[in-house]
Amino acid sequence: MQFARKVWHLLVAIKDGLVLLLMLLFFAGLYGALTARPSQAALKDGALLLKLDGAVVEEPADQDPLNLLIGTGAPLKQYRVRDVVRSLQLAATDDHIKVVVLDLSKFTGGGLVHMEEIGAAMDQVRAAKKPVLTYATAYIDDGVMLAAHATEVWAHPMGGAFVMGPGGTMPYYGKLLQNYGIKVHVYKVGTFKDFVEPYERNDASAPSKEARTALYAAMWEDWKANVLKARPKAQIEQITKDPVGWFTAAKGDGAQAALNAGLIDKIGDDVAFGERVKQLAGAGDNKDRPGSYAYSKPDALLAAHPLSTNGKAVAVVTVAGEIVDGKAGPGTAGGDRIARLIDRANADDAPALVLRVDSPGGSVLASEQIRGALNRFKAPKDGKVRPVVVSMANLAASGGYWVSTPAQRIFAEPGTVTGSIGIFAVMPSFEDTLARYGVNSDGVRTTPLSGQPDLLGGLTPEVEKLLQANIEQGYSRFIGLVGQSRGKTPQEVDAMAQGRVWDGGTARQKGLVDEFGGLPEALKYAASAAKLDTWHPKYYGAEAKGYGGMIAKLLGSDDDADSGSQGRDLAGLMALQQQDSLTRAAAGLLRLGSVQGTQAYCLDCAIAAPAPQIATRGNWLTSLATVLGLR
């Protein structure tokens, strides 16, 4: 019996060992599959297919594999703008590419500056005598702008093209918080620093509306000028001044209305569109599927034309998304992470550095950390001061301007949202809420600061004064940094600061921006300032994790032309915008309850250029449940 027991234990041990070995082999194989780079497809003769199933951004965010696995459906993708632009520029000169196709069926947009950059690259393809075709079920503002630069614009019979214009409303929680007895303690400097208004008011203040009206008017004129220059026949004024009359004239047929207004050229489904592309690009490998055409993806085109590494490397560091404390990113600008990237470029002895900024701001502490790293880079080395140049994309406001102050020269575009020079802090307290339920606070203090800030028992007057004084000192520091950078007195900066946002054109007139231009112009200036004859850009920063993209593909996201293009009609697009609005509303309440510290953040930026901010949208019901304490 004892012998049989030993044999049994031996067999169990062997079984456990085999199971452990198989598990180790399984996870090793899974890790290899998720982190391995996919094999690169060869470049084919035919079309370049840019299937933008998501948003165009400055820097794609990391995808959390856990959220991907527990989420519902495939996530929206993010496409790096410089990759999209370079793909188009290469398509203009590569003999393999006969036609460019932009599938915008699931396109969720991007910032105004990014759309202008892509539109200009599309113009280069057309100038090379190569056709550019776009397809979508329905186009909306950003999609309309890209389509305006195409040779042929196609829309599904159930879709069309619609122009909404910038702007919109946002929720103000003042009465709601008052009804629940929640006190909101606001510390700020700046008449136009309206980020805190939704927590203390029931509507926008007059200064807030004044600044926002001017900003949106400038952005709207910029959008119209771009679209009408590319597509003069587009009847923008008619369809925006009387959208109902324009729509009903076509008997509610969105596609026909868009055709009548010159926004699109052809009406047809994805099969008819594919057959048209086949005439230009040749037949695809899947000959059994109607509308299959020969195409290559951008990755294949980019791989066939690797970036030059000749000469010295001009460093490029990207500050994209909200500026936060810590190591967050890419897609969010963690102060620790960005500062380390700059220090790495410094250690590499880069002859010049371009800071690419696409941020609405955020933490003052993290912004100052990034500014400090830039100053370390600028410190004289061997008797030389290396140039730091800033290139502003869609947004460089508040903290996004703070990190720009060390620049020798600032480049922006007319559609850039910048300024918002001001800071604030906000925190709630719940003593009145608790008192309604018979809960009161009492105790003993040794000083007026003991136990402060007490969010359950209330803040003492001394704490209130200390916090406001600290914010005022931070604002003085901010305008001092701007004045030192721009050659102005603090009083001159204060007159145009006060937390007000400006469009790029006005910012240039006021001296906050030196020159119009994008990243290529900023790089050329930096190289020239460093006296480099031959040079190439070197981009510092982590790439998105491979396993996130792998899981996204397993969940059903597909870039293939043969996979079909089921987009959204007008009602679907409006429903998507509604979800985004609800998500932002819930997120606004969540932000009030989170510990933020002193902030240099731009309220208007979320409305002025929402697409990059909400490209990785969550479930608004989940956010609302979090606010209500249901999860």
Active site residues: 193, 398
Question: Which of 65, 84, 107 has the alpha carbon at shortest distance from 552?
Answer: 65
499 backbone φψ class: left, alpha, beta (φ>0; ψ -120 to 50)? left
- Which single residue is written with the structure tokens 């969720």? 108
Rounded Cα gap, residues 31 and 77, in angstroms: 22
The pair of structure tokens assigned to 358 is: 């696409």
Question: What residue type is 359 in one-letter code?
Answer: S
- Which single residue is written with the structure tokens 């899947």? 286
Rounded Cα gap, residues 281 and 268, in angstroms: 18
Question: What residue type is 518 in one-letter code?
Answer: G
H or E stretch including 214? helix 206-230
Q: 329-332 contacts: CB < 8 A, separation 24 or more? A: 329/59, 329/61, 329/62, 329/541, 329/542, 330/59, 330/60, 330/61, 330/62, 330/541, 330/542, 330/543, 330/544, 331/57, 331/59, 331/60, 331/61, 331/62, 331/78, 331/616, 332/61
Rounded Cα gap, residues 354 and 566, in angstroms: 40
Longest dimension (CA), the chain: 96
The pair of structure tokens assigned to 271 is: 């099969």
Q: Write the DSSP assignment of 230-246 as a string of letters.
A: H-TT--HHHHHHSHHHH
- 580 strand-pairing partners: none
- Which single residue is written with the structure tokens 């992470």? 337
Enumerate residues 6+ apart whose C-beta is below 8 A from 390: 354, 355, 356, 357, 396, 404, 407, 409, 410, 411, 522
Q: How would you class 600 by CB atoms within 10 Å of its CB: exposed for 0-12, middle for 13-18, buried for 19 or more?
A: buried
H or E stretch including 395? strand 388-397
- 354 strand-pairing partners: 316, 389
Q: Write the DSSP assignment of 407-441 as a string of letters.
A: -SEEEE-TT-EEE---EEEEEEE-HHHHHTTT---
Rounded Cα gap, residues 535 and 524, in angstroms: 9
Count each helix (H run) and each strand (E run) in the chain, helices first. 26, 22
Enumerate residues 6+ apart whose C-beta is below 8 A from 568: 106, 137, 138, 575, 576
82 SS3 class: helix
